[in-house]
Amino acid sequence: MDLIASASASVSTAAPAPLKVAVILGSNRDGRFGPVVADWFLSRAAGHPDIETDLIDVGELDLPFALSYSPDSAVQAQLARVSPRLADAEAFVVLTPEYNHSYPAPLKNLIDWHRAEWQAKPVAFVSYGGVSGGLRAVEHLRQVFAELHAVTMRDTVSFHNAGAHFDDAGRHKDPAVPDAAAKSMLDQLVWWGNALRDAKRRRPYGV
């Protein structure tokens, strides 16, 4: 009996597999600042032992803005480049600037081409912009992902007047605060990711 109890305990305390996190770079604007923020975030995520990341850049996609329930072969080929990666992800981090008090159209387009890929998964946000730091874009995205049955993280990372805080090599000039914010956000993402992964193993999510 003691051996059985010991074996059960070892199984229950085993470390879960790293969480598969798709990091979505949401801007395709010429001269965009997003890659600087993405490189910064990925370098922080690389030090987190409980996640593995996959960068999805909307600037490398060519999805049409006219949505279709029956996409032609060209669109299917584009979707084949990204849809399986979204489906395989167990969590998301969306990197977004703020354009006119909201988020970029290519990001919304990527979101709208998919549905089941987002469901019952956690979503965290890294935003950047001027005075608001992209937070108005994040608030709009929370409503979108709620409609898609995703769970958004309370904590975010935001860069106000982002260009002034990074040097020419892409290093943050005062990293202590954003590093701490990134760790807090990723810790929340891992908790929710593991909780939802375990829940879906016991009972598949369906709507």
Q: Residue 181 — very low, low, confident or very high, per pLDDT cuts 50/70/90?
A: very high
pTM for this prediction: 0.91
Residue 180 predicted with pLDDT over 70: yes
What's the pLDDT tens digit per position in 53-102?
Answer: 999 999 999 999 999 989 999 999 999 999 999 999 999 999 999 999 99
Residue 5 predicted with pLDDT over 80: no
What pLDDT is attached to residue 188? 97
Which class for 13: exposed (0-12), middle (13-18), buried (19 or more C-beta within 10 A)? exposed
Least confident of 34-43, 82-91, 170-179: 170-179
Q: End-to-end CA distance of the chain, in Å? A: 42
Enumerate the domain spans of the chain: 17-202
The architecture in CATH of the region 17-202 reads 3-Layer(aba) Sandwich (3.40)
Residue 105 predicted with pLDDT over 50: yes
Task: Give the Cα separation of 166 and 172 in Å (integer).
Answer: 4
The average pLDDT across 110-129 equals 98
Percent of the chain at pLDDT > 90 equals 86
Question: DSSP states of 163-174 as a string?
Answer: GGGB-TTS-BSS
Q: Which residue has the tokens 């998919």?
A: 114
Regarding beta strands 51-57 and 19-25, do their DSSP bridges make them parallel or antiparallel, or are they unpaired? parallel
The average pLDDT across 11-22 equals 82
* CA dihedral of residues 193, 36, 84, 53 (deg, nearest 10): -40
Q: Residue 12 — very low, low, confident or very high, per pLDDT cuts 50/70/90?
A: low
The average pLDDT across 166-177 equals 91
The average pLDDT across 146-150 equals 98
What pLDDT is attached to residue 2? 57
